[in-house]
Chains A and B, each alone.
Chain A
C-alpha cells in the first residue's frame, strides 16, 4: 500500500513537472515570437553565465535539502510555484506539526501536500487580485512612510519566530548547536543567503541529533 501511493504520486508529479517545464519555456518563446524580438545570444549568455553559476549550484543544494522535508506531492508543487523557504516549507511544516503527523509517512505526505497546495492557490489568488485590482493602491501600502511597511519588512522573523517556538519547546536540546553554527558562519560571511546558510545549519542540527540519539541524551 505504502509503496503504491508514493509511486503514484511520483508518477503524477513527474508528468506535471514536465508540463510545467514546457509551459515555462514557452513564455519567453511566445514573447520573442510575438514581438519578433529574440535576444542577442552574446548578451543573453553574459547574463546567464552569472545567474546560472549562482542559481544552478544553489538549486542542487535546495533540491537535496527540501525534497526529504516537503514530501512527494509537496515537492512537485513547491518547485513549480516557488517561494519555498519563505512560504511553502514553513506552511508544510506547520501543517504536519498541527495535525501531529510525521514527515515521510503517508499521513505526513497527504497533510503537507494539502497545505502546500492550498498555500499555492492562496498565493496565486492574492498576487492575481493584487495585480488586477489593487496595483494602483499597493505602492502606498508598501511605501517608505506607510504604517504597514514595517509589518511586511519584518514578516520573516515573525513567521519563523511563531513556527520556531513550538518546535523549540518540544526539541529544545537540538536548538543551540545549529543556531550557534549559523551565527558563527554569518560572522565570517554576513551576507550569505539564507538558502545556503540553511544547508549548513541543517547539517549541524542533524549531526547533533545523531550524536545525541546514539548517546541517549534525547
Chain B
C-alpha cells in the first residue's frame, strides 16, 4: 500500500476533521443560544443555516478539485488534511509546488521518498500558521476598538455603517477588478469574455430574483436568492462553453 494513503494517514485526517467539526459545532451552539437571548427569530437563524449551506456547496467542490490535483504528487490524504485546516486553493498549491521543486521534483509525478513527503508536510504547515500565531494577540484589540468607535453616538454609527458597507464593497471590488483586468501567472482565469459574462449574468440574475421576491412577496425565497444567482452564473458558464464558438470563449484582453 502507498505510504501516502495508508491507515495511519487516514487516521490523522479523521482526527483533523473531528477537530474542525467540533470547533464549528461549539461556536454554532454558543451563538445560537445567544441569538435566542437577543430575541432573533428562529426562522431567521434557520434561513441563515440553509442559505449558508447552499452558498458553500459550489466553492467547496472547487476546493475538492484542488485536493484531486494535488493528489497526483502527494496522495489524496495530505491535500485533504491541508485543505480542511487553514488551507486555501492558491496557497496549498503554491506551497506544495515550491517544496517539491526545491527537491528537484514536479507536482505531476508521485512522490516516492518519505523524507520528501515529510518536508512538504512541514513546509505546508509552517508556511500557513502565521495568522493563528497573531490572532490571540490582535483579534480582540482590533475588534474592541472598532466596536467602541462605531457604537459611540449616532454620527459615529452612521459613519461606521458607511465604512463597513464600503469595506464589503472594497472586497467585492477586488474580485470585480480581477474579472475586468486581472490575470494569473498560469494564464488560466484571465479577464476576458467569460469572466465578464459570468459576472454580469450572476449580477443580473440577482437583481431579477430580488425584484421577483419583492413583486410577488416571496419572503421565503429571499434568503436563497444569492446562492441561486450564483448557480445561474455557473450554469451560464457551461452554456456559453457549449454553444458559443471557441474564439469568443477564449477571448481575453489580459
In the complex, chain A residues whose CB is within 8 Å of the CB of B176 = 160, 164, 179, 182
Interface SS of chain A: helix
Some 6 contacts from A to B, beta carbons below 8 A apart, are: A16-B23, A35-B114, A44-B122, A121-B21, A174-B169, A204-B173
Q: Are B31 and A73 in contact (CB under 8 A)?
A: yes
Q: Are A151 and B115 in contact (CB under 8 A)?
A: no
Q: Are A51 and B95 in contact (CB under 8 A)?
A: yes
How many angstroms from the CA of A6 to the CA of B99 in the assembled complex?
A: 40
In the complex, chain B residues whose CB is within 8 Å of the CB of A106 = 34, 38
**10 shortest interchain CB distances as A-B pairs:** A182-B177, A161-B202, A158-B233, A202-B170, A209-B166, A205-B170, A165-B206, A59-B130, A162-B229, A178-B173
B interface bracket (residues with beta carbon within 8 Å of A): 35 or more
In the complex, chain B residues whose CB is within 8 Å of the CB of A73 = 27, 30-31
Q: Which of A6, A27, A39, A170 contacts B81 (CB 8 A)?
A: A27
Q: Are B202 and A104 in contact (CB under 8 A)?
A: no
Q: Are B222 and A161 in contact (CB under 8 A)?
A: no
Q: Are B126 and A206 in contact (CB under 8 A)?
A: no
Per the 8 Å Cβ criterion, residues 22-74 of B in contact with A are 23-28, 30-32, 34-35, 38, 40, 44-45, 47-49, 51-53, 55-65, 67-68, 71
Per the 8 Å Cβ criterion, residues 106-129 of A in contact with B are 106-107, 109-111, 113-124, 126-128
Q: Are A157 and B198 in contact (CB under 8 A)?
A: yes
Q: Are A35 and B118 in contact (CB under 8 A)?
A: yes
In the complex, chain A residues whose CB is within 8 Å of the CB of B160 = 104
B233 to chain A, nearest CB (A): 3
How many angstroms from the CA of A9 to the CA of B176 in the assembled complex?
A: 34
Q: Are A123 and B142 in contact (CB under 8 A)?
A: no
Q: Which of B61, B169, B194 contacts A178 (CB 8 A)?
A: B169
Q: Are B31 and A114 in contact (CB under 8 A)?
A: yes
In the complex, chain A residues whose CB is within 8 Å of the CB of B20 = 80-81, 120, 124
Q: Given that A20-B23, A43-B103, A179-B173 are contacting pairs, would A161 and B200 also be in contact in the complex, using a CB cutoff of 8 Å?
A: yes
